[in-house]
Structure 1
């Protein structure tokens, strides 16, 4: 049984609050911390540089950078620099980005899978000191002069959801950042990644697959449940009905909750979230979270990534996970955290 990895996905208003959360995650014993860099959103690159300089052990990643608003050559430059100042602790998370956000800036990008594939392959060449020119899959616009003056290799993860992106991730990435709603959705994700990996002579063991889950943890189980219910109500209209049905959930329940939200009846919407709907995330006290995570680990998951809402008090939730949940789960492999 291989060693487990635990990461946390953080965000916030401004740079320093996120940096403080990263420091808390390092102190709590997490292995990785991820933060966003959405166009018109958080200034992730600035935050990542600050995290690199303030932390000492934890690995940190961009969850995720898009290769549209930033050219892949720029991303390769920034990634190499973040590797230097952190002692090679940086993890480059890439994603297709949001076409909605791009439209706000008047940008019309190539298809999501195409732009992601070209970026990953080009960045890998550039961060290894090579030119992407003439390399299959990187696009035809590169010239032989396209080389970085300073380069440093970096692991490349892809934020993947749909089958085509998961297939691509299995074929070319070092890691995967799939949003697993509900957590058991990771089993289907792994099968799709495994099929993609096989196409290029790889195996699933060649990837770090992070089961990115929603989590709400508190000593007050009812409080944790209510917070998760509110989070689910907020996103009830944004979830794939196909994915819900494939995981044994009733899309009609989510449609009813979304209708209440659209009518401005938020409290009623939260109250309409059923126990079945709560399966979208990991929720409860420390013992509940340990039990739910242990089920994933028993089924073969080796990387669990905890994400919002985290808990009524996110700081307390991170500390509770670090002091209680992570040690209990690591004992499943007989390996203590270094």
Structure 2
């Protein structure tokens, strides 16, 4: 975990989330821009109503040469875990060994739209990447647990793919620190990141030594010309909106903040002094499908709590505060009112915050 020092911040991971609400070709162009602007990893988000993340990642791989790539995040309910392992290994193959695997439990409300019951999420996520690791190692797997796989194997070359768990609650955070290669903390505010860092520290205390020994050995030097990072890292998977004008950035933040506020747990709302009734009104409007009304109900306090929004200077200051608690930042949706401009501004803000 980061200790907040300048030298530590200089080593911070720069990540970006690209949402396939646009054609894969445009997302690939944004990934190439992000690579040119110094980002280390690009995630393609996964929502059933957008374009397929793995098709998009293939286009991103073709448009780039160094940046690491992966889904961020897929869930093991919509797609069988063995299939997710195969899809991720394919991205690793076409990218020349640059894949990462962002996996989480998925959004409960979105899964309910598909008639999917999100049962035993922590166990399901853990079993998913445990099985994936065995498959990537070239093993034949039989598994009986939250899902079933019998004599499953992949017709692909063995792969070494780092696993990043999307997490927000205490149990998932601790599990990810104990077993995964990294955590994608679904939070933007230093208070939430500090709380999450404490949960991650608890998980790291129970982390098997052999896991770190193996990952450190695997990531010494470079693999296929791609630098390998340390054994574990915690990244803030933060909603960010950056623009030349503060008001434009904050206005663009309303849609993602509405969804975040609507699903925020009571302790999180209390941590930021957000009225439960106000958040409930946003949630009710979303459930009715009244998106415009829901976005209008987002308060300034909600934007402050759930998004890093503002000019490049403002965002750089917020990044610097966040990096006191994490090893890097994934610049997440909405990015800003102008995507290309936002990628470059986010890079500039990260450069100021990390003194890279």
Q: TM-score range by the shorter chain?
A: 0.7 to 0.9
How many residues of Structure 1 are paired with residues of Structure 2 in the alignment? 327
What is residue 45 of structure 1 aligned with on the other side?
Answer: 54
What is residue 222 of structure 2 aligned with on the other side?
Answer: none
- Alpha carbons of 1:87 and 1:235: their partners in 2 closer, same or farther (altered >3 Å)? same
Counterpart pick for 2:75 among 66, 69, 84: 66
State the secondary structure of the residue aligned to 1:216. strand
Matches within 5 A, 1:247-286: 247-255=272-280, 266=292, 270=296, 273-275=299-301, 277-286=303-312
State the secondary structure of the residue aligned to 2:263. coil
Name which structure has the greater RCO, CA cutoff 8 Å, separation 6+: 2
State the secondary structure of the residue aligned to 2:238. strand
Instruction: Work out the CA distance in 2 between the residues paired with 1:268 and 1:300.
Output: 31
State the secondary structure of the residue aligned to 2:22. coil
CA contact (8 A) 1:122 1:138 kept: no
What is residue 36 of structure 2 aligned with on the other side?
Answer: 27
CA contact (8 A) 1:64 1:95 kept: yes
Instruction: Work out the CA distance in 2 between the residues paired with 1:290 and 1:247.
Output: 21
What is residue 165 of structure 1 aligned with on the other side?
Answer: 172
Instruction: Work out the CA distance in 2 between the residues paired with 1:4 and 1:265.
Output: 36
Give the CA RMSD over aligned residues.
3.1
TM-score by length of 2: 0.80
CA contact (8 A) 2:261 2:279 kept: yes
Q: Shift of residue 90 of structure 1?
A: 0.8
Structure 1: state its 5+ residue gaps: none
CA contact (8 A) 2:184 2:237 kept: yes
What is residue 101 of structure 2 aligned with on the other side?
Answer: 92
- Which 4+ residue blocks in structure 1 deviate beyond 4 angstroms? 98-110, 137-143, 202-205, 256-269
Structure 2: state its 5+ residue gaps: 1-6, 213-229
Matches within 5 A, 1:159-308: 159-201=166-208, 206-229=231-254, 231-233=256-258, 235-255=260-280, 266=292, 270=296, 273-275=299-301, 277-297=303-323, 299-308=324-333
What is residue 120 of structure 1 aligned with on the other side?
Answer: 129
What is residue 152 of structure 2 aligned with on the other side?
Answer: 146
TM-score by length of 1: 0.84
State the secondary structure of the residue aligned to 1:148. coil
CA contact (8 A) 1:183 1:281 kept: no
- Alpha carbons of 1:221 and 1:128: their partners in 2 closer, same or farther (altered >3 Å)? same
Question: Is residue 311 of structure 1 aligned with residue 336 of structure 2?
Answer: yes
What is residue 9 of structure 1 aligned with on the other side?
Answer: 17
